Amino acid sequence: MEKMQVLTDSFGRKIDYMRISITDRCNLRCIYCMPEEIPLLPPEEILTYDEIISVCQAAVCLGIRKFKITGGEPLVRTGCPELIGRLYTVSGAEQVTLTTNGVLLGKYLDALLENGLKAVNISLDTLNADLYRQMTRFGELSTVFENIERAVKSGLRVKINSVLQKGVNDKEWEALAGLAKDNRIDVRFIEMMPVGHGRKYAAVKGEELLNSLRDRYSCIEKDSSKHGNGPADYYRIPGFAGSIGFISAVHEKFCDSCNRIRMTAKGEIKPCLCYSDSIDMKEVLRSAGSEDIRIERAVEAIREAVDRKPRMHCFERRENISEKRQMVLIGG
Ligand code: SAM
Ligand code: SF4
């Protein structure tokens, strides 16, 4: 039997997960993620699907087997479901999942299922239609809600990702957590990170939220079963079909268990979300003469990015955060 490669960084962390942004475009403008007006990349600056496949082939050679497709909004790029199908044909790729705002999920659900998608993360920060419109600048909550219901019915594993902001949607936790009651949906609360416009908003601490949940549901208990690739801590409320997760990126550092690298739509491989350091994969791919050389150089570039992973982020010392771009350009 062929031996599976294991990729580790200089701190001994196993790196087996890669987030791949396929577009800088979005059909919403969430206030903390994307400004109303932002210069868009010219199409030739964005990696083609063939180039993304080459990067994944290289990643798999090193031991990265799980991929998350993100954006911008990945479903606005034509052919996203088919890309997922192609990624599944890369030998060694074990899991391909998607993170979306859910607006186009209904339209592409059948195509996504046909292409092998098994799990989806849907970003939703409120169940109040007016607040949703305000926070996304023009989104229609009813469309997203219908699409969540359809996704759940289709058998996809659904996780809801919610980012709470003090004074904006911090009262929404109870309604959002309620989504996990009757459906096998995990609802995860992600702390606002001081990246891009996220710097302007005060994060609700995961710990504060857990205390509110404990006040409301005294029987809430730790859930130690595995729920995916992320750093979330999960809790169960008896009687709820899904679990409640906390990704406390800022207030509880989980860097010791970091398992990932990221690639932006223009092919920058980022060792860490917090810093601007990146390796230009587009240049690596486009300067190689043949497919074999392309993969060989891509392997070297990914290896280098992993070697450059820092020990930890510095979200608590804002002056040291060197990543200055909006999250929409990074992919979350
Ligand atoms: N459009 C897709 C979506 O909304 O899921 C994928 C891209 S979006 C950048 C990925 C995730 O990043 C979303 O769940 C969003 O809420 C989250 N995000 C954006 N800015 C953030 C910030 N400053 N802190 C924490 N999460 C953020
Ligand atoms: Fe678009 Fe997702 Fe950012 Fe909202 S969070 S603006 S949906 S990329």
Q: Is the C-beta atom of 33 inside 6 A of ligand 2?
A: yes
What are the tens digits of pLDDT across the range 57-114? 999 999 999 999 999 999 999 999 999 999 999 999 999 999 999 999 999 999 999 9
Report the alpha-carbon distance of residue 42 to residue 128 in Å, rounded.
36
Helical spans, DSSP H, in the chain? 49-62, 80-88, 105-114, 129-136, 141-153, 173-182, 206-216, 281-286, 291-307
Q: Whose CA is nearest to atom 4 of ligand 1?
A: 101
What are the tens digits of pLDDT across the range 120-139? 999 999 999 999 999 999 99
What are the tens digits of pLDDT across the range 208-220? 999 999 999 999 9
Identify the three-state secondary structure at position 279. Answer: strand
Retrieve residue 124's tokens.
């939703």
Residue with tokens 């790029």: 77
**Cα–Cα nearest to 24, from 193, 263, 266:** 266
Q: Using the atom order of ligand 2, give the atom closest to the CA of residue 26.
A: 1
Dihedrals phi, psi of 327, to nearest 5 degrees: -60, -30
pLDDT for 2: 60
pLDDT at residue 323 greater than cutoff 60: yes
For ligand 1, mutation pick of 67, 69, 80, 123 (most atoms within 8 Å of CB): 123
Q: Using the atom order of ligand 2, give the atom closest to the CA of residue 101.
A: 7
What are the tens digits of pLDDT across the range 19-36? 999 999 999 999 999 999
Retrieve residue 5's tokens.
């490669």
Report the alpha-carbon distance of residue 227 to residue 225 in Å, rounded.
6
Q: Is the C-beta atom of 102 inside 6 A of ligand 1?
A: no
Residue with tokens 């859910």: 102
pLDDT for 231: 85
Cβ burial, residue 150 (10 Å; 0-12/13-18/19+)? middle
Please compute the mean of the pLDDT values over residues 197-203 and round it to a whole number. 94
For ligand 2, mutation pick of 30, 75, 76 (most atoms within 8 Å of CB): 30
- Considering the chain, what percentage of its residues have pLDDT values greater than 90? 94
What are the tens digits of pLDDT across the range 259-275? 999 999 999 999 999 99
pLDDT for 253: 86
Nearest-ligand number for the alpha carbon of 139 = 2
What are the tens digits of pLDDT across the range 233-260? 999 999 999 999 999 988 888 899 999 9
Select the more confidently predicted residue: 112 or 291: 112
Helical spans, DSSP H, in 99-172? 105-114, 129-136, 141-153
Q: Whose CA is nearest to atom 8 of ligand 2?
A: 72
Retrieve residue 194's tokens.
């001081």
Is the CB of residue 271 less than 8 Å from the CB of residue 30? no
The average confidence (pLDDT) of the chain is 96
What are the tens digits of pLDDT across the range 35-48? 999 999 999 999 99
Contacts within 8 Å (CB) and 24+ apart, 125-133: 125/30, 125/162, 125/163, 125/164, 125/169, 125/172, 125/176, 126/169, 126/172, 126/175, 126/176, 127/172, 127/175, 127/176, 127/179, 128/169, 128/172, 128/175, 131/168, 131/169, 131/172
Buried b / exposed e across 273-304, counting CB within 10 Å, b at 16+? Answer: bbbebbbebbebbeebeeeeebbebbbebbee
Report the alpha-carbon distance of residue 5 to residue 25 in Å, rounded.
35
Q: Whose CA is nearest to atom 4 of ligand 2?
A: 30
